[in-house]
Amino acid sequence: MKKSIIKSSAGVALSSALLLSQIGTAHAFSFHKGELRGSFDTDVTYGISMRTEDADSDNFGAHGNRIFKDAGDVFSNSIRGSSTLSLEYGDYGMLARGNYFYDYAYDNEDLADQAHDKLARDLSLTDLMFYGYFGDNDQVNIRVGKQVISWGENTFIQGSINDINTVDVNKLRQPGLALKDAFIGTNAAYVSWNIDDEWSIESFYLFEFDQVQLDPAGSYFTTLDAVGAGGGFDTAGDGVVGGVATGAANLPFGAPSGACISPDQLDDCGLVGGSLVRVGDKFAEGGQYGLAIRKFFPEVFGGTELALYYQSLHDHTPMISTFYGTGQFFLEYVENIERIGMSFNTNISGWAIGGEYHVRKDAPIQMTGGVLSGLGAAGPFPAGLGLCGTCAVGDEVTGYDFVDRHQMQMTFQRIWGVGFMDADANSTLLEVAYGWVDDLPTKNEPIVGGAFRSVFNPQVTESFWGFQIKQSLTYEAALFNVASVSPFIAFKYDVEGVSNEIVPLFVDDRKALTIGANFGYGGGTWTGGVSWTMFDGGNGMLNQAGSRLNGRTDRDFIQANISYSF
């Protein structure tokens, strides 16, 4: 594959993380005959995860927290594979990637069918794209097909310019996962043009829509069963209401509904204490696009890139709307949200530094009134909320309002080299983000249901910020003089504020600490890792469902994995 003429590409830190996730993969099969080149790589991983503390009764509203409720419970026991095929002929090529897994722990639990399909086993084609280089010095690159497009400078913290593709959150939870296996490629056309050594233009058009795959109902990590796969739908009685099948896999949009009962029969997995049942989802369609213009300044700090962005994207996470007075809700994905942003990346005194700012125009924010309307809450609703005026039973009620949401973040990365604690390598990666919303309704405004809140959050704040940091060391030939060891420590801290997402990216005082080590042997043919993650904080805040807003304070866990690449 040809190299870009531009000295520094978008997403320095993220690209580094993706690269590190693939280092050490050995080619089982590769060939080179004339202009034809190819390779086929496979990684097979076994991983296990175990709970290290008993469940908190305040978090028993989540089915998965009742399935795996005792310290010592194994909540993931999986075998996973990932294969990549790459072919190139002259200036043209193709790349295909798929992954597959089986999890014994979830396969032996009583789960809703949709949740079981996500948690116990899966086979996915994540990438299938064709590409070519054209023009003098191969200045134009065109890619068509199922692919991942990376823009901006984020590494850990989401809600960024890089919100083009989506991720499968359940796969992110699996021990030893490579980042390339969690991203969901989208069918798209992508064009980049390196005009000269300093200017470049990129654009994309997405032919379809992919939503974020949230934690399914029954997952160890889920805190809201109703919006995950297998949650919210009517499962009561014989699964038939008025002659219509109402199972999660069969329920047509807007059909009559009964109740959503969890497989263990201990609670209702709908919303508002089980008073609202999910009756379908409204997915967005294609028609998403973006444009980026980059300028490289070779004389500024030895090389600095600035970029401007425009995107029109659909929201990857759902909002909740209802049918007035019916006890029914549905998920929908807001379309055509404009995002305007800028970014930079450079190197200063050995630090790779990247930063970005963007604003999402008319980003959705969940409203309590929109959800309570499904119960027949008193109308009419205040003007300007996107809710109906005087509602009749069965009217569709939009459950969200719109705000302008801003976010800026910076990433600092450094490879220190030999010396510290006698390590052969020493690296630091830090990311800080600050966000705010314009014209946030206050608690004194007459929003239905009382004080302004998103449906599951306490008071959403006008601003919020946090950071994540990871420090790692590498010792080559440390174990028996043949295996490398890389101990690390990572810390995530939402310092202040609550953001406006339905599952908020920032929750005041939420913390997570991970301590672990990775191992390598045989030039990367064998790799492995072990880690311990602890959750804390959230100031004890409860959401409107009565569970802790930081619902993972009792989900501490350890995990281990071993991988073979061939």
The type of residue at 135 is: G
Do the domain assignments include residue 2? no
φ/ψ of residue 336, rounded to 5 = 55, 50
pLDDT at 44: 94
Question: CA 394, CA 376: separation in Å to the nearest integer?
Answer: 10
Do the domain assignments include residue 1? no
Pairing of strands 277-282, 328-332: parallel
Neighbouring C-alpha atoms within 13 Å toward the C-beta of 64 = 30
CB proximity list for 85: less than 8 A, separation 6 or greater = 38, 39, 40, 94, 95, 96, 97
Residue range(s) defining the domain that contains residue 166: 12-565
List Cα–Cα distances, 241 to 234, 251, 550, in angstroms. 9, 10, 36
Q: How is residue 26 annotated by DSSP? A: P
- At residue 239, the 3 state secondary structure works out as coil
List Cα–Cα distances, 411 to 233, 351, 408, 433, in angstroms. 41, 10, 11, 9
Pick from 442, 287, 288, 437: nearest CA to 360:
437
Do the domain assignments include residue 467? yes
Q: How many CB atoms lie within 10 A of CB 33?
A: 7
φ/ψ of residue 418, rounded to 5 = -75, 145
CB proximity list for 424: less than 8 A, separation 6 or greater = 418, 474, 475, 476
Question: CA 392, CA 544: separation in Å to the nearest integer?
Answer: 26
**Token couple for 37:** 């080149």
Question: CA 355, CA 191: separation in Å to the nearest integer?
Answer: 24
Question: CA 267, CA 264: separation in Å to the nearest integer?
Answer: 8
Question: CA 518, CA 533: separation in Å to the nearest integer?
Answer: 15
Question: CA 401, CA 378: separation in Å to the nearest integer?
Answer: 18
**Token couple for 557:** 């866990």
Pick from 317, 261, 215: nearest CA to 551:
215
pLDDT at 418: 74
Question: CA 533, CA 250: separation in Å to the nearest integer?
Answer: 38
| Cβ atoms of 230 and 261 closer than 8 Å | no
CB proximity list for 450: less than 8 A, separation 6 or greater = 368
Question: CA 118, CA 157: separation in Å to the nearest integer?
Answer: 24
Question: CA 195, CA 200: separation in Å to the nearest integer?
Answer: 5
pLDDT digits (tens, 9 = 90+) for 248-294: 444 444 444 566 666 655 555 656 555 677 877 888 888 899 999 99
Pick from 254, 248, 233, 400: nearest CA to 326:
254
**Token couple for 67:** 């399935």
pLDDT at 45: 94
Pick from 292, 353, 282, 280: nearest CA to 164:
292
67: enclosing H helix or E strand: helix 63-67
Q: How many domains does the chain have?
A: 1
Q: What parts of the chain have a pLDDT lower than 70? A: 1-28, 58-62, 232-275, 368-390, 441-459, 538-549
pLDDT at 60: 63
pLDDT digits (tens, 9 = 90+) for 432-489: 999 999 987 654 343 333 333 444 445 678 899 999 999 999 998 777 778 899 999 9
Question: CA 198, CA 5: separation in Å to the nearest integer?
Answer: 8
| Cβ atoms of 308 and 358 closer than 8 Å | no
Give me the residue label for tokens 């759902």: 318
**Token couple for 162:** 């890089």
Give me the residue label for tokens 């959401």: 543
Q: How is residue 283 annotated by DSSP? A: -
Q: How many CB atoms lie within 10 A of CB 50?
A: 17
Give me the residue label for tokens 């056309």: 189
pLDDT digits (tens, 9 = 90+) for 75-125: 999 999 999 999 999 999 999 999 999 999 999 888 878 888 889 998 999
Q: Give the gyration radius of the chain's Cα atoms.
A: 24
Do the domain assignments include residue 552? yes
The type of residue at 508 is: D
| Cβ atoms of 259 and 268 closer than 8 Å | yes
Do the domain assignments include residue 4? no
List Cα–Cα distances, 537 to 48, 221, 295, 484, 507, in angstroms. 26, 16, 42, 35, 9
The neighbouring-strand residues paired with 559 are: 49, 531
